Amino acid sequence: MIIWEKTGSWRLEVNEAGQAAVRHPGAVVLLPLPTAETVLLLRQYRHALGQTIWELPAGTRGWEEDWLVCAQRELREETGFQAAEFTHLGDVWPAPGISDELMRLYSAHHLTPAPLPPDADEEIEVVELPLAEARAMVTDGRIRDGKTIIALSWWRGE
């Protein structure tokens, strides 16, 4: 039985036994690399946390949307850049106890300006940082976002 649905995005289902599951079309996580030594990170306000955090660009894909089409759109919306090349880093389930959401992680290369209007509810600052500093921010706790920690740890510069 569907209890609640965010149109075009996700829905909450509960079965007869009372087990709940969020059905989700998936999301992309992007590691944008302007150079071999730098990464674009976002400073973004997150209502659920009541604070601004450091994270990588990411976004929900449409139910039938191609993963790379979604990746390019989200990169443009959140950073103002497009990528000539994406490298698939891997997939993760961020919360398998409650959701079937799959996050597909990509690095993005050969960036050129190509802005799209951001979503109306997003407050985003794009910051280019050395990769070494971004990794240090994970170690010292300034970056606490799971998807960002995973992508930064999986990227080896290949």
In a domain, 6, yes or no: no
Q: How many CA atoms lie within 13 A of 63 on its CB side?
A: 7
Q: Does 120 have pLDDT greater than 90? A: no
Which helix (H) or strand (E) segment is 137 a member of?
A: helix 131-139
CATH number of the domain at 90, please: 3.90.79.10
In a domain, 3, yes or no: no
Provide the annotated active-site residues.
123
In a domain, 77, yes or no: yes
In a domain, 5, yes or no: no
In a domain, 36, yes or no: yes
pTM check: above 0.85: yes
Please give the residue range of the domain that contains residue 75: 25-154
Q: How many separate domains does the chain show? A: 1
What confidence score (pLDDT) does residue 8 get? 66
In a domain, 49, yes or no: yes
18 pLDDT tier (thresholds 50, 70, 90): confident
Question: Alpha-carbon distance 149 to 153, whole Å?
Answer: 6
| Range of lowest pLDDT (18-27, 37-46, 56-65, 129-138) | 18-27
Q: Please, where are the H alpha helices in 8-128?
A: 67-79
In a domain, 34, yes or no: yes
Q: Does 116 have pLDDT greater than 90? A: no
In a domain, 51, yes or no: yes
How many H-runs (helices) and E-runs (strands) does the chain carry? 3, 10
> In the chain, what is the straight-line distance between the N-terminal and C-terminal CA atoms, in Å?
45
